[in-house]
Structure 1
Amino acid sequence: MCTSAPRPAYCSPSSTPQRTACPTCSPCRPPQPLILLGVAALLPGPDGSWTSGLLSSLILAAGYLTLFLISRGFGFGDVKLALVLGAVLGWYGWPIVLIGTFAAYLLGALYGIGLLVAGRAGRDTRIPFGPFLLAGALAGMLLGALT
């Protein structure tokens, strides 16, 4: 029988994307990347690879961890989210990982440029990158399911 452990304060029920990247929020469930890989296995499209899913997960997380350590622009939530989304995108193969990652940066850049042009942000304004990671991963998954 599963006993529920106290949850950390940052695991609120209202933060769905953060709950996806927070395996400590549900101590009795399998790790979230494995659940998302299972969901990706049910989606129509090419047969995926667990190996490429796990490798791309580790590579994306290592890349975002490096960015987190050397810059002040990325938060640790981006690192955790990249770990999960790398697994899902890697299921469809390496080209989809690159497309999903590029789409996230492209959407974030377009949003930032739009804010700069509108005068609503400056060069030092912090913009959350998590929504763009999710949108880029969605674009990559949709493309992966279609090809």
Structure 2
Amino acid sequence: MIVFIGACLGLLCGSFTNVLIARVPSGEQWRTGSSRCPNCRTDLAWYDNIPVLSWVLLRRRCRHCHEPISARYPVVELTVAIVFALVADVFGTSALAVALVYLAVITVALTAIDLEHRRLPDALTLPAYPVLAVAIAIYAGMENEWWILARALIGAAILGGVYFALWFAYPKGMGFGDVKAAGMLGLALGAVGWSAVAVGAIAGPLIGGVVGVAVVIRSRRARGVAIPYGPWLIAGAWLGILAGNWIGHGYVDLVTGGLS
């Protein structure tokens, strides 16, 4: 039931995530105002704004201007719903789960924006630091384990520090937005555990490397291919958050079993 409720909330929050994706890059107001058609800018009635379902019933077109509506909208809504459901399954209804579903909205929005605009807006990344820190502090206080907060801050320093060093060494190879996003993700990874930090830190470059090689092979040229790194950094972090402890324990068991 918790997973089902999480998925339903994720669908609703996925609709809001689409608002962030559409408005934040252009500097539009996203805190107020109704959802509207991206083509004719007509405000949408509630029955035309039901996550996924309205897109299907309208046959992927706006009711007013009849222009096609991108499949990105239902994909984003379903993605947020899936991540919410996974967070609910792994972390239940804890304060940490609340912090992570907030992170889900921010990171899905950042992924879509980076894929389309090649940037990670400060308007989404920077406010996430205090929001996550407060939520993690509440979680640590409720668990009476203040080391959780300290570990989260260390995680942010490690991941942010590593990517800052990479950016400083070769600024043309990475945007500073990736550095700020890395620190934000490090907070969440540290709150989950050291295994999450390790898996999240390693998985991002691995996923990015595989994608980069695939893009180069497909384009048949090694130079001049622009590949946004933010989505793969985020994907690696989520692997660490959701499965890092399981992967870490499995690795330790494999190593200790082989040595025994």
* Same fold (TM > 0.5): yes
Distance in 1, Cα, partners of 2:157 & 2:241: 18
Deviates further, 30-39 or 113-122: 30-39
Q: Write the letter of the residue equivalent to 2:125.
A: A
What does residue 186 of structure 2 align with? 86
CA 1:102/1:116 → structure 2, altered by over 3 Å: closer, same or farther?
A: same
Distance in 2, Cα, partners of 1:76 & 1:94: 25
Taking structure 2 as the reference length, the TM-score comes to 0.43
What does residue 49 of structure 1 align with? 148
CA 1:86/1:121 → structure 2, altered by over 3 Å: closer, same or farther?
A: farther
Deviation (angstroms), 1:123:
3.3
CA 1:21/1:120 → structure 2, altered by over 3 Å: closer, same or farther?
A: farther
What does residue 82 of structure 2 align with? none
Alignment of 1:18-97 (within 5 A): 18=121, 19-23=123-127, 31-35=130-134, 37=136, 41=139, 49-71=148-170, 72-97=172-197
User: 5+ residue gaps in structure 1?
Assistant: 1-7
Greater Cα radius of gyration, structure 1 or 2: 2
Alignment of 1:68-147 (within 5 A): 68-71=167-170, 72-119=172-219, 121-144=221-244
User: 5+ residue gaps in structure 2?
Assistant: 1-23, 31-105, 111-120, 250-260
Of structures 1 and 2, the one scoring higher in RCO (CA 8 A, sep 6+) is 1
String of CA shifts for 1:37-60, please: whole Å, max 9, x gaps. 369x59xxxx88111110110121
What does residue 3 of structure 1 align with? none
Taking structure 1 as the reference length, the TM-score comes to 0.71
String of CA shifts for 1:13-55, please: whole Å, max 9, x gaps. 5x832444122xx9xxx8133156369x59xxxx881111101
String of CA shifts for 1:52-102, please: whole Å, max 9, x gaps. 110110121111111111102111100110111001001122221111111
Distance in 1, Cα, partners of 2:130 & 2:197: 20
Aligned pair count? 129
Q: Write the letter of the residue equivalent to 1:37.
A: I
CA 1:83/1:70 → structure 2, altered by over 3 Å: closer, same or farther?
A: same
